Structure 1
Amino acid sequence: MTARILALLAASSALALSPAHAADKDASEKPAAAPYEANSASKRFSGTFGGRSVSYTATVSEQVLKDDKGTAKAAIVTTAYVAEPRDPNRPVTFLFNGGPGSGSLWLQMGAFGPKRVAIPSDARDDGGPPYPILDNPDSLLDVTDLVFIDPVGTGWSHTIGDTDPKDYWGVTQDAKSVAQVIRQWLSENGRWNSPKYLGGESYGTTRSAAVVNELEGGYNDVSLNGVILISTVLDFAAGAETEGAELGYITTLPSFAATALFHGKASAPSVEQFVEEARQFAIGPYAAFLLKGQKASANERAAIRGELARFTGLSEAYLESADLRVTSGRFYKELLRDRGQTVGRLDSRYTGKDYDNAGEYPDNDPSFYGIDGGYTAAANAYMRDTIGYKTERQYVTIGGVSDWDWRLNGGRDSDAYLSVAPYLGRALRENSGMRIYVGQGWYDFATPFFAAEYALSRTGFPQDRIEFHYYDAGHMMYVRDEDRAKLSRDIRAFIRSR
């Protein structure tokens, strides 16, 4: 009996020390992961903006987003410029770019930050480094503090641990995370009662509308004084170029006209007059013709073809072969084919040279490869070396996201008919103190100005609180020196007039 008990005890001891049990013991005693430590850098500067001398602190920092259990899920990098001494009643403006998947370097280093990169102002390629990084007297720091936000997958922003970045890649998911960053920044900096503005460029205007919905769509509101929309895209059907969709041909025609006039393929006293003529033709005779489809008469077709040729600078023979429906991509290639050049998508003032002169579409967009090198170099040099932000991560300029979820709030809407414009209409109706500024370039095909006008003139938008401003450049109008100064003056006046 004693021998049997001793054997059982020995077996029990061996079992307790078996690899499986040892692993269980190690797992149970494994220490919890250390709390995530946010990276940041800060430095004091001074400068003259809008004619006023301002002392300010520049801070590049990670805003850590946590779940309900307090687990760190993502680190979103913000670059904040705050005037000193700090004033809790001073306006603060939150800004971001678009993509989706673009960092905020464009607005920061091109338009509103205290420093800017100097690239050619006359639609020429930016060439090679070094690129001058200059004081920016057009920064808005004289009238508002500035917080630039890089959503997950852009800039240096990233997920933490095993968090899937796709959790943040969607219209609604992205808006929720940006709204959370804004709330945290307001709390950490004591700015809940400050006048607040939200500003975005390109898809950043889509994001602005979705973020407004997250900030003001419930009862735990962050009320805004204004929304700044630069190169606006709110209703994606307004610019859709798919078979059977006619609206896109209407909304891009005034941009065709502006571009044809700029390159000497049309004649008119001014771009303002010519695009107004194109607007009226597009929304009137051309829209009626498109709606009739194959039921339009031969005489009506001939009249439309002649006017399209006048506005677009394209031959009637080419227009007829395109069934009087010319897509933007074909226009970029065809307008200057006789010169062996293409025109840009982001800014059709820019021209490019393709491998050959055949084909329907350009090899690339000369208005993007004409500026990207300078902005990327300047953003890294300024934030790393001047402000002192240290990281081994590479700054994602654009293209850092994939498989974007275009559905709104998990619904069935997709980019086939996605419109976030109603979010802004509701916010205007429910917040009498909110206004909208819209800035559009004549030569922008990524977000045509007539499509923005269409989206914001629908039922439910108080028109007296929406103001439009136009610029003699394209999608990023601030690359042109005169328009950067005008943009700054216009937005400065918008903020001051609250």
Structure 2
Amino acid sequence: MKLVTGISFLVLCIINSAYAATENDKENNNRYIEVDNSIVTEHKVKILDKKITYKTTTGTQPVWDDKGKAIASLHYSYYQKKGVKDKAKRPLLISFNGGPGSASVWMHLAYTGPRVLNIDNEGYPVQPYGVQDNPFSVLDIADILYVNPVNTGFSRVLENEKGELPSKEKQKELFFGINADVKYLAQWINTFVSRHDLWLSPKFLIGESYGTTRVSGLALELQNNQWMYLNGVILVSPTDIGIKRDGPVKAANRLPYFTAAAWYHKALSNDLQNKDLEKLLPEVEAFTINKLIPAIAKGGFISADEKEKVISKMAYYSGLSEKFVAQNNLDIPASFFWKELLRDKGITIGRLDSRYLGIDKRDSGESPDYSAELTSWLHSFTPAINYYLREELNYKTDLKYNMFGSVHPWDRTRNKTGENLRQAMAQNPYLNVMIQSGYYDGATNYFDAKYTLWQLDPSGKMKDRLSFKGYRSGHMMYLRRADLKSSNQDLREFIESSLPKNGASAKYQ
């Protein structure tokens, strides 16, 4: 991809001078955020063998309080395909990552955007660090907006007229909680859509990890309080979104993931290793639902004979010893599994992506010393996003790009985001939902994601608008090149299939 010379330009408009960077800031060499600015660059990329010309707007846009004063500024990057004549037929995909406290960098520079990390085909870092074209990006069929919530990326809380930041408690009330997060982001999206004349465009939200909590809540918040109706919500490696998976369900649901990770590391018996993963997993899922959940539910009153049979089957499907399964009373914490599976080889496996290997100080213990996959990812993402924003998108600032920002303590009370998503779907016949999960994700495992999908609409009346896609990778399934291609294609097909035929009414027949 090459920048078109002579086209980059800066459009700076300060909305509230009391909150903007002052001359005093500049004179004293203070670091500051431009509250409301943007810079536009133009680029080319080949997607699915077709040349696409697009422009990127990256900048900041304020968050206002009820009195119209700027209290924060969010950094964003907005990709628009050139030559689109009718915005009403051009979908908009709004992308959030999670944490909470994580920047939008992950899906921005590794999944849907036109530029992705310079990594190997399995997702491991290579040097020199940098970015390359993404031949599978969905920019060919949708414009994309990447948003950094408060304190992530270059987004920041703003000082008041006295040069003071709100108290920690006030910041938590305004930004750092499940419901506060959804409320201010919905208002921010309304402003963005209005500024860019996107009210007629079909709209989609995509969130990863905690971002799935965020977009599930946003679906109803946008609909009921901003009167903005969506066509689709995509949940990538979802959290529980307020749909409880406690007790026997929580313990049992880990087993299919254990099987997948053990299969990847060739830790299962030969008869299981010889099966294709996607042929094997339904067998384990059926055992989990029909045998394991009832067995764990019986607790200490399960018969010795039944418990022995279940222990044997769990060991068979997990690659763990029967002794280890018995010692944990059928309830094996995921952290124990990451440490135990390859303990005899002196190696741990990753939490977010169990394909990754780590080395601990001691082989004994109940959990790994560190997350092998996360350290590997930060290798690639941190230099790439800083290079990309500053040098290719020409966004110049002395602010640090927060891969993970200060947002804690996070208010996790009153999490009804899953129910909110169900309500949004019920009220809006156009709204479809897709889940994407990696089989080797041990943090938000794929079977929990399936369970969430099943419980999202217990009535089953909307199941034709709910879908699941699985991939042979981890939390960020798109890091593996084969899955980058297939996951983008699944997303492309979901977006296209969620656009109603011209004139089709939003009503139940």
The TM-score normalised by the length of structure 1 is 0.87
The match for 2:138 among 134, 137, 140 is 140
Partner residue, 1:481: 481
2: CA distance between counterparts of 1:485 and 1:347?
18
Q: What's the counterpart of residue 446 of structure 2?
A: 449
After superposition, where does 1:173-252 map in structure 2 within 5 Å?
Answer: 173-218=180-225, 220-235=226-241, 238=244, 245-252=247-254
Count matched residues: 451
Residue range with higher mean Cα deviation, 428-437 or 43-52: 43-52
Letter in 1 for 2:129: Y
Measured after TM superposition, the shift of residue 217 of structure 1 is 3.0
1:79-115 per-residue CA deviation (whole Å, 9 max, x = no partner) reads: 0001123542211110010100100111010011111
Q: What's the secondary structure of 1:110's corresponding residue?
A: coil
SS at match of 2:254: helix
CA contact (8 A) 1:238 1:451 kept: no
SS of residue in 1 equivalent to 2:298: helix
The equivalent residue for 1:24 is none
CA distance in 1, matches of 2:177, 2:60: 21
- Partners of 2:48 and 2:228 in 1: CA distance: 28
Other structure's SS at 1:55 match: strand
What pairs up with 1:31-50 in 2 under 5 angstroms? 34=18, 36=20, 37-50=35-48
On the 8 A contact 1:350/1:367 being kept in 2, the answer is yes
Q: Which amino acid aligns with 1:261?
A: W
SS of the aligned residue for 2:474 comes to: coil
Give the aligned residue type for 1:34: A
From 271, 290, 301, the equivalent of 1:284 is 290
Deviates more, 1:195-204 or 1:364-373: 364-373
What is the 5 A alignment of 1:304-453? 304-408=310-414, 418-453=415-450
Deviation at 1:395, TM superposition (A): 0.5
In structure 1, C-alpha distance between the alignment counterparts of 2:200 and 2:492, rounded to whole Å: 20
Contact 1:93 1:196 in 2 (8 A): yes
Which letter does structure 2 place at the counterpart of 1:115?
Answer: R
Which stretch has the larger CA shift, 323-332 or 85-94?
Answer: 85-94
Does the CA contact (< 8 Å) of 2:130 and 2:383 recur in 1? no
Contact 1:421 1:456 in 2 (8 A): no
Structure 1 residues 430 and 33: alpha-carbon distance in aligned structure 2, compared to 1, 3 A threshold: closer
What is the match of residue 148 of structure 2?
Answer: 150
Task: Compute the displacement of 1:399 (Å).
Answer: 4.3
Q: CA deviation at 1:460?
A: 4.2
Work out which of the residue numbers 148, 166, 170 in structure 2 matches 1:163. Answer: 166
Q: Deviations over 1:52-101 (max 9, x none)?
A: 32221111111101122221111011100011235422111100101001
Deviations 1:405-462 (A, max 9, x none): 0122xxxxxxxxx552111111111110111111111101111111111112121451
Measure, in 2, the Cα distance between the counterparts of 1:324 and 1:233: 23
Let me know the Cα RMSD of the aligned residues. 1.7
Deviations 1:374-414 (A, max 9, x none): 11111110111111112121011124321000122xxxxxx
Q: Does the alignment pair 1:51 with 2:49? A: yes
SS of match in other structure, 2:119: coil
Q: Structure 1 regions of 5+ residues with no counterpart?
A: 1-31, 409-417
Cα contact 1:237–1:247 (8 A) shared by 2:
no
Once the 2 structures are TM-superposed, how far is the Cα of residue 156 of structure 1 from its aligned partner? 0.6
Within 5 A, what are the aligned runs for 1:248-267?
248-266=250-268, 267=272
Q: Deviations over 1:230-280 (max 9, x none)?
A: 11113456556xxxx322112111100111111111124111122111111
- Given candidates 68, 71, 75, the residue that maps to 2:69 is 71
Offset at residue 34 of structure 1 (A): 3.1
For the residue of structure 1 that corresponds to 2:284, the secondary structure is helix
1:95-114 correspondence runs (5 A)? 95-114=95-114
Counterpart residue type for residue 258 of structure 1: A
Identify if the C-alpha distance between structure 1 residues 309 and 84 changes in structure 2 by more than 3 Å, giving closer, same or farther.
Answer: same
Q: Aligned in 2, Cα 1:352/1:237: closer, same or farther, shift over 3 Å?
A: farther
For 1:51 and 1:489, how far apart are their aligned partners in 2? Answer: 14
Is residue 91 from structure 1 mapped to residue 91 from structure 2 by the alignment?
yes
Equivalent position of 2:464 in the other structure? 464
CA–CA separation in structure 1 for the residues paired with 2:405 and 2:198: 33
Match of residue 121 from structure 2: 121
Instruction: Indicate if the aligned counterparts of 1:239 and 1:252 stay in contact, CA closer than 8 A.
Output: no
> What is the rounded CA distance, in whole Å, between the counterparts of 1:303 and 1:438 in structure 2?
33
Provide the TM-score with structure 2 as the length reference: 0.86
Contact 1:225 1:433 in 2 (8 A): yes
Preserved CA contact (<8 Å) 2:216 2:241? no
Aligned partner letter, 1:453: K
**Partner Cα separation in structure 2 for residue 276 and residue 115 of structure 1:** 35
**AA of the residue aligned to 1:328:** A
1:16-59 CA-partner distances (Å, limit 9, x unpaired):
xxxxxxxxxxxxxxxx9635341322211122223332221111
Aligned to 1:11: none
